[in-house]
Structure 1
Amino acid sequence: MPYQKSTERMRKIGPYGVETLPQVLVDAPAAPPACRDSLVERARLQWHRADGGDPAVLAEEFLAAHGLDLRDLNRPAAHGPDVCGAALYLSAAAAGAQLAGAPTTAPEPAPTLPDLAVVVYDHGPTRAPAAPDDTPWWLGPWTESWTPAQHAAAVDTVRAAIGRGDIYQTNLVGHAAAPYSGDPLPALRRLGALPGARYGGVLTGDGWAIGCASPETLVEVHHGQIITRPIKGTRPATATGRAELLTSAKERAEHIMIVDLERNDLARIARTGTVTVDELFAVRRWCDLWQAESTVRAHAAHGLGLADLLRATCPGGSVTGAPKLAALTHIATAEPVGRGASMGALGWVAPGRIDLGLTIRTAAADGHALHTWAGGGITWDSDPTAEVAEAAAKTAPVRATLAGR
């Protein structure tokens, strides 16, 4: 079997206890750059929805039990000499179904991926980079989870729901998978070098790996300040594309709707009257695309802990729609497969600092295939053909990078 060797290789990479320390440099998104070549794994929690329980509470309790007490994010804390922090990953399905109370009906295309992963690291001796893998890398053709016609039909279905007043906006996401042979980790690591990848990095487990090139901040907490940076609105990275994005009434209305949703999310966990929009509709570049980004800020409420933070901010409004629960209900019936590693949270948590990216522009590997996801927000003014083209434009740099181009 061409994929058996790949599965075995992935299982050797990920450490799962004190006795089997990592053999590669830690590359978790948002991990402290000065520590990455000396981090060693000391504890790991992996959870699937079928296991039961509340993933936000499980993460908070697990971290507290291993020296990372995040039950009060206003508590002053310093970077410790031993426990450094932890990588945290939360799937879109766990965020939507378990935290937001939304239904999930579509099957997951990569069921070996956990819905929650928390990996605690402390400091060890500085390690040299691992030798490059000379195994030939082959990536096969991509198979889409829906055809362009089916994608366009889903856009029309959402527009009809908007016309009835059921929702105001819904984000639709498609999936594709491609077979591979060789070690997938170098391909996934290349994603982190893409221009604008604020949350570039890789997280690995037993038989799975996630590579991220996300530019979007789901939530950041530092010195009692909570920040989210929703991205909504895309055009080609040309002078014409930038002008079109800045002058598009449709894109601006869609964007402001999500900013209002994020303001409401932060207000649930902020001190009264502290939610502000620092920057509205700033145009920034990711690869060959312009994207509109805003910055929403608030002061954390007294006693705010990690679990409540995750409940309030996950899943991110820019990948759900508004109202959030109604949008998630439509997503559950409109999308043919689950969102897997995409549209969730991935980043770094530590005392005094939380920095989680929204897993857009993200790929995952299991023992058989690479998986990618891409989509966009649908409003009444959306053109189905244009929405299909936008999703293709977002995933093109990711797929090209995975292939080695």
Structure 2
Amino acid sequence: MRKNGPTGVETLPRPLIDVPGAPPSCRGVLVERARYEWRPADGGDPATLAEQFLAAHGLDLTDLARPATHQPTGVCGAALYVSAAAGAHMIGAAPGAPTPAPALPELAVVVYGHHPSPSPAAPPAPARAARSGPGWWLGDWRESWTPRQHADAVTAVRAAIARGDVYQVNVVGHAAARYLGDPRPALSRLGALPGARYGGTLHGDGWAIGCASPETLVEVTDGRVITRPIKGTRPATAAGRRELLASAKERAEHVMIVDLERNDLARVARTGSVRVDELFAVRRWCDLWQAESTVSAAVADGLGLADLLRATCPGGSVTGAPKLAALARIAALEPVGRGASMGALGWVGPGRLDLGLTIRTVAADADRLHVWAGGGITWDSDPDAEVAEAAAKAAPVRALLATG
């Protein structure tokens, strides 16, 4: 167990808190009060440990159905980051390959309180955060596998589907690039990408995460638990939109994940309350059309944060179906771990929980930036097309990071 108490924090300059989902009205007055980071060597169940740590610091999330009100004084809420590996650990799934960014924890909980005066640093508008500081340099990206190896992994998934082992598996690649300078301004720019519903950052000692995710992993508000899976991609052109809407393969892949998410929510919902509010709505993220659905349910009485995390992590749209079998294939095929990607990042607080799925997400360690991208594989998948789709998803993120 690693806990960092912000010793002397009141005497230090207070950075702007830019955690995805943090209350906009509070961001200028938030200050870190306590921090907990978990890695597998620490032992224990990260879901339970997160819930216990939050309760010990004034955020009792043991019954998410119980009404609660945000208070303008005292504890405001907490940032919550859960890696894909931590999510797999929570449900006893195959752990996967080692992370390429071991400086990052697999789980981080950062509790924030309200400072009596606003931060002296006014929040910059995302559109104006267009430049890293002087001296920013980003090297060439080095892939964790070749396009041929990626395509071969797609072929292997199709073979597993033919055997009846799985119905769908999400396959993800990784790349890293060395950098010089301060990576935080570059990571902050990601939140300005169009459609970045969960744009923001989280920092720790020797690591940082920047997110431009459009996808809701799980949200709890007004007594309902909501997830918005995204599955299905085409270029953001008129022809691309028509192709996505007409694609039987993309729709079948999407509906399969919606069914998985319905099953996940049913485990933590009031009996009979799960519903699909919206199915296969086409929305834009940067230069891509993507299909999104909304699944919701009434929160069961007594549902706590730990059980909710076990039910929803890792997210179905980045694992596959059945989830445990898909995670076993992922562990066997992907050459490096998913690190900060394909997990969860967002905000938890009194009466409110909002976690984004960490797609379109970048991690920084002491000397490298890390990106991940992939897609869902079904029997109808074309290996070369899947490689091209992953590259298209990563391209806007890489381009923005290179701007200096």
Name the TM-score, length of structure 2 as normaliser: 0.95
Q: Partner of 2:27 in structure 1?
A: 36
Q: Partner of 1:294 in structure 2?
A: 293
Structure 2 vs 1, CA of residues 295 and 133 (structure 1 numbering), >3 Å: closer, same or farther?
closer
Report the Cα distance in structure 1 between the residues aligned to 2:13 and 2:321, rounded to whole angstroms. Answer: 42
Shift of 1:122: 0.5
Q: Contact 1:363/1:372 (CA < 8 Å) preserved in 2?
A: yes
Q: Partner of 1:5 in structure 2?
A: none
Report the Cα distance in structure 2 between the residues aligned to 1:156 and 1:258, rounded to whole angstroms. Answer: 20
Structure 2 vs 1, CA of residues 133 and 261 (structure 1 numbering), >3 Å: closer, same or farther?
closer
Shift of 1:181: 0.2
Q: Contact 1:18/1:42 (CA < 8 Å) preserved in 2?
A: no
Q: Partner of 2:127 in structure 1?
A: none
Report the Cα distance in structure 2 between the residues aligned to 1:218 and 1:143, rounded to whole angstroms. Answer: 29
Equivalent residues in 2 for 1:12-27 (5 A)?
Answer: 16-20=5-9, 21=12, 23-27=14-18
Residue by residue over 1:14-34, the C-alpha shift from the partner in whole angstroms, topping out at 9 and shown as x without a partner, is: x85141356310000110111
Q: Contact 1:221/1:227 (CA < 8 Å) preserved in 2?
A: yes
Q: Partner of 2:345 in structure 1?
A: 346
Shift of 1:133: 6.9
Q: Partner of 2:157 in structure 1?
A: 158
Report the Cα distance in structure 1 between the residues aligned to 2:176 and 2:203, rounded to whole angstroms. Answer: 18
Q: Partner of 1:137 in structure 2?
A: 136
- The answer to whether residue 62 in structure 2 is matched with residue 63 in structure 1 is no
- The answer to whether residue 171 in structure 2 is matched with residue 172 in structure 1 is yes
- The answer to whether residue 112 in structure 2 is matched with residue 121 in structure 1 is yes
Q: Partner of 1:108 in structure 2?
A: 99
Q: Which residue of the other structure, out of 36, 39, 46, is the alignment partner of 1:48?
A: 39
Matched to 2:78, the amino acid is A
Report the Cα distance in structure 1 between the residues aligned to 2:194 and 2:286, rounded to whole angstroms. Answer: 5
Name the TM-score, length of structure 1 as normaliser: 0.95
Residue by residue over 1:101-134, the C-alpha shift from the partner in whole angstroms, topping out at 9 and shown as x without a partner, is: 1112412100010011000001112013279974
Report the Cα distance in structure 2 between the residues aligned to 1:29 and 1:120, rounded to whole angstroms. Answer: 14
Q: Partner of 2:375 in structure 1?
A: 376
Q: Which ranges in structure 1 are unaligned for 5 or more consecutive residues?
A: 1-14
Equivalent residues in 2 for 1:200-215 (5 A)?
Answer: 200-215=199-214
Report the Cα distance in structure 2 between the residues aligned to 1:161 and 1:134, rounded to whole angstroms. Answer: 48
Question: Secondary structure of 1:200's partner?
Answer: strand
Residue by residue over 1:138-181, the C-alpha shift from the partner in whole angstroms, topping out at 9 and shown as x without a partner, is: 00000000000000000000000000000000000000000000
Residue by residue over 1:313-365, the C-alpha shift from the partner in whole angstroms, topping out at 9 and shown as x without a partner, is: 00000000000000000000100000000000000000100000000000000
Matched to 1:319, the amino acid is V
Q: Contact 2:275/2:296 (CA < 8 Å) preserved in 1?
A: yes
Q: Contact 1:89/1:345 (CA < 8 Å) preserved in 2?
A: yes
Question: Secondary structure of 2:76's partner?
Answer: strand
* RMSD between superposed Cα atoms in Å: 1.3
Shift of 1:389: 0.2
Q: Partner of 2:276 in structure 1?
A: 277
- The answer to whether residue 84 in structure 2 is matched with residue 92 in structure 1 is yes
Q: Partner of 2:251 in structure 1?
A: 252
Q: Contact 2:142/2:175 (CA < 8 Å) preserved in 1?
A: yes
Report the Cα distance in structure 1 between the residues aligned to 2:362 and 2:13, rounded to whole angstroms. Answer: 22
Shift of 1:59: 0.5
Q: Partner of 1:402 in structure 2?
A: 401
Q: Which ranges in structure 2 are unaligned for 5 or more consecutive residues?
A: 125-130
- The answer to whether residue 257 in structure 2 is matched with residue 265 in structure 1 is no
Residue by residue over 1:283-319, the C-alpha shift from the partner in whole angstroms, topping out at 9 and shown as x without a partner, is: 0000000000000000011100000000000000000
- The answer to whether residue 64 in structure 2 is matched with residue 73 in structure 1 is yes
- The answer to whether residue 189 in structure 2 is matched with residue 190 in structure 1 is yes
Q: Contact 2:14/2:31 (CA < 8 Å) preserved in 1?
A: no
Report the Cα distance in structure 1 between the residues aligned to 2:96 and 2:242, rounded to whole angstroms. Answer: 40
Q: Contact 1:135/1:183 (CA < 8 Å) preserved in 2?
A: no
Structure 2 vs 1, CA of residues 58 and 22 (structure 1 numbering), >3 Å: closer, same or farther?
farther
Moved more, 121-130 or 106-115: 121-130
Report the Cα distance in structure 1 between the residues aligned to 2:177 and 2:247, rounded to whole angstroms. Answer: 35
Matched to 1:54, the amino acid is D
Question: Secondary structure of 1:113's partner?
Answer: coil
Q: Contact 1:267/1:275 (CA < 8 Å) preserved in 2?
A: yes
Q: Contact 2:132/2:403 (CA < 8 Å) preserved in 1?
A: no
Question: Secondary structure of 1:271's partner?
Answer: coil
Structure 2 vs 1, CA of residues 134 and 394 (structure 1 numbering), >3 Å: closer, same or farther?
closer
Matched to 1:90, the amino acid is V
